[in-house]
Amino acid sequence: MEDFVIKTENLSKVYGRLFWKKKEPSLKGLNLEIPYGTVFGFLGPNGAGKTTTIRLLMGLIKPTTGQAWVLGKPADDVKVKLRIGYLPDGPTFSPYLKAYEFLNICAKLLQIPSSQRRKRIEEVLETVKMSEHANSKLGGFSRGMTQRIGIAQAILNKPDVLILDEPLVGLDPHGRQELKDIVAEQRKAGTNVFFCSHILSDVERICDSVGILFKGDLLRCGKLDELLGATGMRITVNVGNDELTQKLLPQANSSVRLADGGWELIFNNNDEVKAMVDDYVAKKPDSMMITPSRESLEDYFFRNIAVAEQQS
Ligand SMILES: Nc1ncnc2c1ncn2[C@@H]1O[C@H](COP(=O)(O)OP(=O)(O)OP(=O)(O)O)[C@@H](O)[C@H]1O
Ligand SMILES: [Mg+2]
């Protein structure tokens, strides 16, 4: 477990007490191994178990089975918390505290030496573009401003790993861009990032790896390049190959008639299509061009969720 920034082994959670009525687990035997140096996006529909996983990683709730480690230490290890930056889902803070006062309390809890506190708080307020609100009360902040203060407290201790539950929620387009910049900066500084989000286009831009959770099961997990790059092929059929086009068209995910009369067809990887294409290329090498096609994370997500829904 020392080799992974986050590791879980058979991690399950059933909320509430199990009397005679057995409840459906919110998380079912999750096995995750996230190497150091990763920005990991945790995806899944509402109620899939993402927040449950994060609470288990933070040691805020106890697992029903299994174990979790963060930075090589068990999730309930108190000392390791000083090296983690955590943004809970929909954070709420004392409305009577001013932003600076709140961050000062956090800095004390995080054992940041008093000589460094003021400078560090000013730095993080600047990072989340909230310097001008340092002396305003948290109760008067909008959702996005509250989220920015939540992010500020998460990065206050220059953590080794950031665990963020829906960090993009409530942020305007500028805020989302700034958060992406913060993640990029953190990564440059050597911070590992684990976050969940529903904004797939942003996840696709900032993550190296993703996991997709569905009803407590991990459906897919891996490097984005491998998951999306290996999913499809783009076939350009040159003009004059009508017979081949007619065979391929019914199986294509999408088809576009090109200006020169040929076709561009996109397929998911499929052995039957591959065999058909290989056979044709062997006979007529100039009949088409085959290039790998990268699916968007959004299409990949919906396709996998649709299959899982059919099977469940
Ligand atoms: N404190 C709790 N007590 C009982 N059930 C809970 C509790 N917290 C979550 N659940 C249940 O566990 C399941 C997973 O919830 P969780 O909050 O982990 O989902 P999520 O993936 O974070 O969803 P969302 O995208 O809506 O944030 C849901 O069925 C939810 O009803
Ligand atoms: Mg959640």
Provide the residue ranges of all domains of the chain, joining segments of one domain with +: 4-227, 232-293
By most ligand atoms within 8 Å of CB, the mutation choice from 50, 197, 203, 217 for ligand 1 is 50
Residue 264 Cα, ligand 2 centroid: separation in angstroms?
Answer: 40
Which residues, by Cβ under 5 Å, contact ligand 2, an ion?
A: 50-51, 89
Pair 13, 64: CB distance under 8 Å: yes
Residue 88 Cα, ligand 2 centroid: separation in angstroms?
Answer: 9
Of the candidate ranges 89-103, 259-273, 295-309, the one whose mean pLDDT is the lowest: 259-273
pLDDT for the residue 222: 93
Confidence of residue 208 (pLDDT cuts 50, 70, 90): very high
Of the candidate ranges 6-15, 68-77, 215-224, 235-244, the one whose mean pLDDT is the lowest: 235-244
Three-state DSSP at 173 gives helix
Of the candidate ranges 10-14, 108-112, 261-265, the one whose mean pLDDT is the lowest: 261-265
Confidence of residue 1 (pLDDT cuts 50, 70, 90): low
The DSSP symbol for 190 reads T
pLDDT for the residue 276: 80
CATH 3.20.20.60 fits 4-227, yes or no: no
User: pLDDT exceeding 70 applies to what percent of the chain?
Assistant: 96
Mean pLDDT of 218-241: 82
Q: Which CATH number fits domain 232-293: 3.40.1350, 3.10.560, 3.40.50, 3.30.70?
A: 3.30.70
Beta-strand (E) ranges in the chain? 4-13, 27-35, 39-43, 65-70, 73-74, 84-87, 161-165, 192-196, 209-214, 217-223, 232-237, 254-257, 263-268, 288-293
Q: Is 150 in the pocket of ligand 1 (CB under 6 A)?
A: no
Confidence of residue 113 (pLDDT cuts 50, 70, 90): very high
Whether residue 229 is predicted with pLDDT greater than 80 in this model: the reply is no
Number of Cβ atoms within 10 Å of the Cβ of 164: 25
Ligand closest in space to the Cα of 12: 1
Of residues 248 and 173, the one with the higher pLDDT is 173
Confidence of residue 21 (pLDDT cuts 50, 70, 90): low
Task: Of 221, 227, 231, 225, give the one whose Cα is nearest residue 194.
Answer: 221
Mean pLDDT of 114-138: 95
The tally of CA atoms less than 13 A away on the side-chain side of residue 124 is 26
